[in-house]
Amino acid sequence: MRLRNKNLLLSSALLGCVAALPAYADTHTTTGTFTTANQSEWNTGSATVLNYTSPVLGPSFSASPSIGGITCVGCGVPVVPDTYWGAEASLSLSGSLGLQVSASLDSGSVNASVPFSSTINAPNQLNSSKNTSFTPTLNIGLGSSQLQVFAPTAQASVNLLASLNASGSVQICGGGCTGTSGIILNGSGSLSLLSINQGNNGAIQVLGQTVQGLSGSVDGLNYSAQGPQNTPNATGGPGGRVSTGVSSDVASLSFDADQALASALGIQLSGSKGPISWSLGDVSVSLDGLLDQSFSLDPTVSADLYVPLTGQNDFCSAAGCGAIEVPTGFQGELQVDPRYVMSAVLTNDTGLDLKPGFDVSLLSAGISGVGSIGPAYSYDQSWTTPEINLYQDSFLIGGFSTVDGRSFDVNVVPTAPEPGTLALAGIGLAALALARRRRKV
């Protein structure tokens, strides 16, 4: 009897110790990279990209002429063997000739990639009770982001396309037949008739030759224009934020003032005679237009913790996570599925800089093969005017796909009695055993 009482007391003590054991926390790690491509650099959404290529506008032909013929002797006549006599040549011709129009437009786009790493701390074990819940803790770090910007482009072309295919066969029969066949000609080609802004260079070309269009010269005035040639790339430091900028020439004007003055007054300000060349003065005025663009990307990452069993979706941000509820009476492995979501703000600051310049030199001369003297006076100066703001805005860019983290489980076990309850039960059992012993005595 004493032994059984001792066992009861020992069991009660062990249960109390088990109930007091702590639930150790687990750390769940996820790494990944958010990427987006072809997003507009001007507003939320994808960049406007249009590509058009027309069908060949022109005639096509196909012909199969033949000469000669082959006859059969004995065909269809019983007992007489079939023999073939004669000769035949055939030619197959096909081809096309026509115009094809191509055009493309890209409003300007950005590509970005943002690496991240995340740790989620959650208990590995919970005791089931009426109102059981737990609150995970989340820590997200961003790595070195990358940002790539493509300039707006618009271009068009008209091409002359031609193709010709020829094949032939010859067959000669004198009782039996022999022959040959093969491809005579199989070729195609194209000729550029007109191209506009190919390579974003602003040039107009006819038959491959640049014509006076977006660039040229008129009475001493030289001018040119082209699309922005910027494709800046940048890699940011830790924290995910990245910025980049570029300045590109889009237009220029230059005026040769001394030539205009000489033409107006009918005088000669420069010339040469034999090996000697000379200049009384050279004066030019210029104005350059530069497109300045700066971009910055500021990303943030949040997470949703989804519980498939209950459908609960717990949102986690830098401020923390909400509580995840455990269904009443549930026991077993409670699965939690993390999902990470990127939110990134792109800032675009686009402006136009006008840069006037003035260049003058007076009195210079030179002798071929010997050297030059002067100029006696020269002055060269350029200025930059305040930037003309063309566009400035910050907006969310899309295109980032969500990244699924590694699922984890929290083990929900039956609730053990509280240590105080177990102690009271043990004392009661001990008292009961003592009372029974006294009655026997």
Residue 11 has a pLDDT of 45
Residue range 180-186: mean pLDDT, rounded: 90
Determine the longest span between alpha carbons in the chain, in angstroms. 148
pLDDT for the residue 218: 77
**Any idea what DSSP says for residue 108?**
-
Strands 66-73 and 137-142, by their bridges, are: unpaired
- Provide the pLDDT for residue 14: 40
In this predicted structure, what is the pLDDT of residue 90?
93
Residue 374 CB partners (closer than 8 Å, separation 6+): 361, 362, 363, 364, 365
Q: Which alpha helices (H) appear in 245-295, and where do they start and end?
A: 257-265
pTM: 0.69
**Which residues are registered as beta bridge partners of 25?**
123
pLDDT at 23: 52
pLDDT above 80: residue 227 = no
pLDDT of 431 higher than 70? no
pLDDT tens, residue by residue, 282-318: 888 999 998 888 999 999 999 999 999 999 999 998 7
How many Cα atoms sit within 13 Å of 364 on the Cβ side? 12
Backbone angles phi, psi at 83, to 5 degrees: -135, 150
Would you tell me how many other CB atoms lie within 10 Å of the CB of residue 108? 20
Q: Specify the pLDDT at position 15.
A: 41
Residues 6+ apart with CB under 8 A from 213: 203, 204
389: in domain: yes
> What is the structure's pLDDT at 371?
80
Q: What is the pLDDT of residue 20?
A: 41
- Percentage of the chain with pLDDT > 90? 42
Beta-carbon contacts of residue 88 (< 8 Å; ≥ 6 apart): 66, 67, 68, 69, 70, 170, 171
- The whole-number pLDDT of residue 248 equals 83
Which DSSP helix (H) or strand (E) runs through 439? helix 419-440
Q: What is d(CA 351, CA 303) in angstroms, rounded to the nearest whole number?
A: 37
Residue 172, in any domain of the structure: no
Does residue 10 lie in a domain region? yes
- Residues 59 and 334: their CA atoms lie apart, in Å, by 71
CA distances to 167, 189, 258, 284, 367 from 269, rounded to whole Å, are: 68, 51, 7, 14, 17
Q: Structure tokens of 180?
A: 């040959």
Residue of 301, 304, 306, 302 whose CA lies nearest to 337: 306
Residue 270: give the domain boundaries: 2-48+107-152+228-440
- Of the chain, the end-to-end C-alpha distance in Å amounts to 13
Assess if residue 203 is contained within a domain.
Answer: no
Q: Return the number of other C-beta atoms located less than 10 Å from residue 399's C-beta.
A: 20
List C-alpha distances in Å: 83 to 77, 78, 89, 90, 179: 11, 13, 19, 21, 16
Per residue in 234-277, pLDDT (tens digit) is 777 778 899 988 888 888 888 888 777 777 777 777 878 888 88
What are the backbone angles phi and psi of residue 266, rounded to the nearest 5°?
Answer: 70, 35
Q: What is the per-residue DSSP string for 128-182?
A: --TT-EE--EEEEEE---EEEEE--EEEEEEEEEEEEEEEEEEEEEEEEEEEEEE
The H or E element that residue 419 is part of is helix 419-440
Residue 295 lies in a domain: yes
Distance in angstroms (rounded) separating the CA atoms of residues 234 and 244? 6
Q: Say if CB 392 and CB 350 are below 8 A apart.
A: yes
Stretch among 4-13, 62-71, 250-259, 373-382 having the lowest mean pLDDT:
4-13
Burial 342-369 (b: 16+ CB within 10 A, else e): bebebebbbbeeeeeeebbbbebbbeee
CB–CB of 181/167 below 8 Å? yes
Neighbours of 383 (CB within 10 A): 9
Average pLDDT over residues 395-421: 83
Q: Is the predicted pLDDT of residue 186 greater than 80, yes or no?
A: yes
Q: Report if residue 84 sits inside a domain.
A: no
* DSSP-derived secondary structure letter, 79: S
In the structure, what pLDDT confidence band is assigned to residue 383 with cuts at 50, 70 and 90?
confident
Is the Cα dihedral 210, 214, 219, 222 positive or negative? negative
Task: Name the amino acid, one letter, at 410.
Answer: V
Residue 229 has pLDDT above 50, yes or no: yes
Q: Is residue 408, in this structure, part of any structural domain at all?
A: yes
Q: Which helix (H) or strand (E) holds 19?
A: helix 2-20
Calculate the average pLDDT of the chain. Answer: 83
Alpha helices in 45-118 (DSSP H): none
Cα-to-chain-centroid distance, residue 104: 18
In the chain, the number of structural domains is: 1
Classify residue 185: in a domain, yes or no: no
Instruction: Note the pLDDT tens digit of each residue in 82-129.
Output: 888 889 999 999 999 999 999 999 898 999 999 999 999 999 998 887
Paired tokens of 357: 């310049």
Per-residue pLDDT at 347: 95
- CA of 76: how far to CAs of 71, 175, 177, 313, 409, in Å? 13, 16, 19, 87, 87
